[in-house]
Structure 1
Amino acid sequence: MAGMRDELDTIRSEDDEDFDDEAEARERYPFLFDDEAETTETTETTETTESIETPEGNVPDEAEEADEYAGQPDYHLLPHLPEDVLPRMRYRRYDSIFTASPAYLYFTNPKFNDRRPRLLGKFWAEGDLAVLFSDTGAGKSILATQIAQSVASGVAIGGFDLDVASQRVVYFDLELTREQFDRRYSNDDPNAPAKFPFHRNFIRSQPRAYHQLPEDFGTETEFITDSLVRLVRFTEASVVIIDNITWLNNSSQTGNAAPRIMKALARIRREYGLSILVLAHTPKRYAAWPFTLNDLQGSKMIANFADSVFALGRSRLGADVRYLKCLKQRNTPAEPDDRVATLRIRKDACWLGMELENLTDERDHIGWMTSPKEPEKMMLIEKCIELRKLGFSQRQISERLGVSAPTVHRCLKVTLE
């Protein structure tokens, strides 16, 4: 590659008259012309994908992509953008990671303008990389398993729109052992079904033990990502659920791998046309505080790569009551209704799931503010937490915010309650 770039630099420095004969240029520098390379790449891609049928509509049509670049000039030979090329520009070079076009050309394909089919009402749409997070033990694995069964069977969860037919789902269960999963969806009652009849399109996966990283991989993250892609391609699944990213992060030997994993998942989603749901934890937080994106562990990097983010919270209305709150939705039209979905955990013979009861205000679940000063206190707590994450000491925080050190201590302490 370095030699190729040096050769290209030499070409650029030569006079334009050296390239009057296009045939000579093609013979001397075939890598500068995309048509032959694209033909070869298309042939190889066709041979590779013939043996693996991809769910219809998940991967962009190769013919459509080729048509976008048909009739385009060779951008390797253009020193700058001519005005007559701009209206139809589809910039692409082999030595650049970026493509570019005028903004209005991105609206020529109607399938990107239409609202995406919903998998879980307003919370998760087809083709999205979504994140569901909650406190430990709140029941996000129960809800995620229920979502997987719903999408696999094509039967919507009551109260949540499902706009697609049955799709194949791979559920990477990195939390429960086989025995724990068996107990959760089994029943000892001789008069009831012993095991829940999960749909055949619901494929569950769990990691195996290994003691040494295979030689082909430089890092744990690479190995995990490659293993995930291999299984998804083998099963021809269109929906992936990962429970949860904390395990992936902890399994890495390179520190906080969550951003790298989310970036890899975003790439996989685009490349294979997948719908991905990632489960995550929230650090200890003030229970009477409304959910925000800041409550997501590693919030900024994870939320940046996600198309949608929603939280599952406990409720003061009962030990079996939960609520679901949408915090971010990039590809679904915004809805004026900002109420949360109230859920109740139900155990019915060998099935464990959640039922939608109603839509209500989040404050019904966390408790109403007890005094006019409550909003100010919550803002102070949030500022203290943000500064603490940046590495400030309690004394530095107190000086910065103009409050006493004991007040800062109490603000930080409520997050552990």
Structure 2
Amino acid sequence: METGEKNDNIRERPFNVIAAIGAELDSQRQQAENIPAQSGMFSVKTANLTIQEAANRPNPVPLWLTLWYQGEVCCLFADSNLGKSIYAVQIAAAIAEERKVLYFDFELSDKQFQLRYTNEATGQCHRFPDDLYRVEIARDCLCPQDDFENALIMEIEQLSVKMECKTLIIDNLSYLCMTSEKGEDAGRLMSRLMELKRKYGLSILILAHTPKRQLNMPITQNDLAGSKKLYNFFDSVFAIGKSAKDENLRYIKQLKVRYGNFEYGSNNVIVCAIEKADDFLRFVTLGHAAESAHLKEITEEERGRMRNEARTLHSQGMSYRAIGEKLGISKTTVERYCKQ
């Protein structure tokens, strides 16, 4: 579901003459008042000039629903074996109907990929759009072991420039940064990606893991594996959860939005099933529901056990927040258990 134009062209926005005149007048006033347009690493503009200049640039185009927009560094995360690579390839194939896409596959071998998209009965292989390119690390490549992550990002940059491709999907985050749980390393990684985004106008979707999570708890930003700094850097974030009511169902939840509408939050997650239609493995949308309808209900016995464990941990000096993270319940619930 892609609304862009071929070769990354975007819908033209009518030139706003009034905004252009206003921008010129505000720029002249700023110069007359000896306010610098740039000071060191900072660009300085009035709020009005900022808006007027931006008004004559095109609005971001949604690449996939309202979950990922053109010009964003976006994150899709999920627990292992929930189908995030399947969903990412589905997204890539839809976008490649309109524009070139580089899918960096650091998860599957070419044979595994082929089997996933082959009709088992007939042997017929799926035909993807010609503008979808799958990229993997060459077997005979001599990768530098001392600075692998830096070399990998440089190679991604060079390939996207060489192929004139501005839409990238990277599967997955651990290959970009082996130590993404460390705040300093995560910060450097995201700074590099944001630099590439601004320099070339890239749109980047990065897949990431979440640790094993309690099925009775809603998905939150804390479920993204690694440093919380990563979440803060991403322009948009969405996740795949497993339904506790039916192991064959998945739901897609929107967690962070900068453009467009916040459509698929906890009250309106997208409910899906993974199905293979002939030769194409994909997520099939069944409808929408509240996330709570797909969470595991806690029995009184389980609640009593957690209450006792929370009290024990609190008596040992553990904070409410730390107890909540350990038990998979909210800080407020822990506090209530301990004060009862």
Unpaired runs of 5+ in structure 1? Answer: 1-53, 59-67, 74-80, 154-165, 385-393
The whole-number CA distance in structure 1 between the counterparts of 2:236 and 2:183 is 25
SS in 2 for 1:347: strand
Which of 3, 6, 9 is matched with 1:56 structurally? 9
For residue 341 of structure 1, what is the aligned residue in structure 2?
270
Q: What is the RMSD computed on CA atoms of the aligned residues?
A: 4.0
Q: For the Cα contact (< 8 Å) 1:69–1:90, is it kept in 2?
A: no
State the Cα distance separating 1:237 from its structure 2 match.
1.3
Number of residue pairs matched by the alignment: 308
For residue 37 of structure 2, what is the aligned residue in structure 1?
91
Q: For the Cα contact (< 8 Å) 1:249–1:258, is it kept in 2?
A: yes
> Normalization by structure 2: what TM-score?
0.77
The whole-number CA distance in structure 2 between the counterparts of 1:117 and 1:126 is 5
The whole-number CA distance in structure 2 between the counterparts of 1:110 and 1:145 is 34
Offset from partner CA, 1:78-107 (integer Å, 9 cap, x none): xxx989426xx56225xx222111122111
Work out which of the two has the higher radius of gyration on C-alpha atoms and give 1 or 2. 1
Matches within 5 A, 1:308-387: 308-335=236-263, 338-368=267-297
State the Cα distance separating 1:260 from its structure 2 match.
2.2
State the Cα distance separating 1:117 from its structure 2 match.
1.9
Offset from partner CA, 1:308-365 (integer Å, 9 cap, x none): 1111011123232100000110122345974100011001221100111111010111
Alignment pair present for 1:412 and 2:326: yes
Offset from partner CA, 1:132-179 (integer Å, 9 cap, x none): 0000111000000000000001xxxxxxxxxxxx01100000100111
Q: For the Cα contact (< 8 Å) 1:307–1:329, is it kept in 2?
A: yes
Alignment pair present for 1:208 and 2:130: no
The whole-number CA distance in structure 1 between the counterparts of 2:271 and 2:63 is 18
Alignment pair present for 1:110 and 2:41: no
Residue 67 of structure 2 aligns with an amino acid whose one-letter code is F
For residue 140 of structure 1, what is the aligned residue in structure 2?
84
Q: For the Cα contact (< 8 Å) 2:26–2:49, is it kept in 1?
A: no
Residue 203 of structure 1 aligns with an amino acid whose one-letter code is Y
The whole-number CA distance in structure 2 between the counterparts of 1:358 and 1:299 is 33
Alignment pair present for 1:267 and 2:185: no
State the Cα distance separating 1:256 from its structure 2 match.
7.3
Compare the two structures and name the one with the higher strand fraction.
Answer: 2
State the Cα distance separating 1:401 from its structure 2 match.
3.9
Unpaired runs of 5+ in structure 2? Answer: 1-6, 12-22, 330-340
The whole-number CA distance in structure 1 between the counterparts of 2:315 and 2:223 is 20
Residue 280 of structure 1 aligns with an amino acid whose one-letter code is A
Residue 89 of structure 2 aligns with an amino acid whose one-letter code is T
SS in 2 for 1:233: helix
For residue 101 of structure 1, what is the aligned residue in structure 2?
45
Change (3 A) 1:313 1:69: same
Change (3 A) 1:104 1:219: farther
For residue 399 of structure 1, what is the aligned residue in structure 2?
317
For residue 25 of structure 1, what is the aligned residue in structure 2?
none
State the Cα distance separating 1:395 from its structure 2 match.
6.3
Which of 83, 97, 115 is matched with 1:183 structurally? 115
Matches within 5 A, 1:18-57: 55-56=8-9
Change (3 A) 1:83 1:118: closer
Change (3 A) 1:339 1:198: same
The whole-number CA distance in structure 1 between the counterparts of 2:160 and 2:25 is 32
Offset from partner CA, 1:243-298 (integer Å, 9 cap, x none): 0001222289x997443222211111111111110000011222211000000012
The whole-number CA distance in structure 2 between the counterparts of 1:320 and 1:133 is 18
Q: For the Cα contact (< 8 Å) 1:72–1:90, is it kept in 2?
A: no
Which of 44, 63, 66 is matched with 1:119 structurally? 63
The whole-number CA distance in structure 1 between the counterparts of 2:130 and 2:31 is 56
Change (3 A) 1:257 1:224: farther
Change (3 A) 1:269 1:69: farther
Task: Give identity over the alignment, percent.
Answer: 29
Q: For the Cα contact (< 8 Å) 1:323–1:341, is it kept in 2?
A: yes
